[in-house]
Amino acid sequence: MIPTKICGITNLEDARLAVDLGASAIGFIFYPPSPRFIEPSEAKVIIQSVGDRVCTVGVFVNNDVETINWISREVGLDMVQLSGDEAPEDLRGITLPIIKTLHVDGEFDVAVAVNYPAHAVLLDSKLPGRYGGTGQTWSWDGVELAQISKPVVLSGGLNPDNVSKAIKCTAPSAIDISSGVETAPGKKSPAKLRALFKILADHEGTNEQPFK
C-alpha cells in the first residue's frame, strides 16, 4: 500500500483508527488559525499512545527554528512539516527530518523543490492566505514528479473518490489527506477512512520513503 499520512489529527480515537487501518504517518497542526489546530500538550498525549506504531509529524507555518525545535522535543515528534512561506535558508537549524510543503498554482517548476534542503516535499493546492486543509485539488496532469530528487507527498483535496486518479496521474511516493476524510474540520469520518484505505490497498508508492 502506498505510504499515507492522515493529517489534522485532533483526538486519540481518530489517531488510533488511522493507525489501525494502515496509516504510515499522522499529522498534528500547530498553527492556531487552522480549524484543526491542536495544543502541543494534547498532541503529546496522543503520541504517547500511538507514536511507537506510526511516524508522527508536526505541521508548522512560518515559525522560528527555536519554537519548532522546542515543540518537537516536548511533544515527541518524528518529523516536522513546514507549510508556510519558508525560504530554503529558513530550514537551517531544525533538528528533525523536514517535509517542505510547496503550494502549486498553475505550472509547477520542479527546480523549486530541489532547492530545499528537506528530506521530502509535499505538493498542496495554492489559495491566497491559506496554508492547507482547503479541500481544493490542483491540476495533476503533466506534472513530472520523477524529476524531483527526493520523496514527493501528494496532497490537496484528495478523498476516496479521486485518490486513485491522483495516484495514477502523478505516481507520488506517498499521499497526505485531511479534509477529504472528515465529517467536520478536525473530526475524521470512520466510514471515509475505511473507504480510503480499502482503495489504497491497490496502490503502491515509489521506493522512496518520505516518512522516517
Question: Bridge-partner residues for 176, per DSSP?
Answer: 5
List, by residue number, the catalytic residues: 7, 124
Instruction: Give the three cell numbers for residue 122.
Output: 509535499
